[in-house]
Amino acid sequence: MDKITIKGQILNLDLKASVLSHIDKLVGTLKENEELKEVLKRRLTKKELKVFIAIEEKQEIKDIATLISDDEERVTELYKAACKKLNQEKIKQELVNL
């Protein structure tokens, strides 16, 4: 498992498995963690990316809300938005090796 760094914070997250668990239909195989990270940084907002990674790391929603200076309801909305974006065809095409 590759270590992912966002804003100097090292994350022990298998990004490939996390992304795969949220995609409904996938044609092809996902890129490696480093390439996935670059696509997600381009396609998700900063807050969506932070929330997605934090929730996938099993952090508490209230802690995430404090981290991004927002309320818990907004954290849930951001996570849902990130998951929805992962299922857009245009983004899915960027996430896979053809």
20-59 per-position pLDDT tens digit? 999 999 889 999 989 999 999 999 999 999 999 999 999 9
Widest CA span of the chain, in angstroms?
A: 39
The domain spans of the chain are 4-97
| 3-state helix vs strand vs coil in the chain, percent to 5 | 60, 10, 30
Candidates 39, 34, 2, 21; CA nearest to 79 is 21
pTM across the whole model: 0.84
Residue 5's DSSP bridge partners are 10
For residues 26 and 8, the model is more confident at 26
Tokens of 50: 């932070």
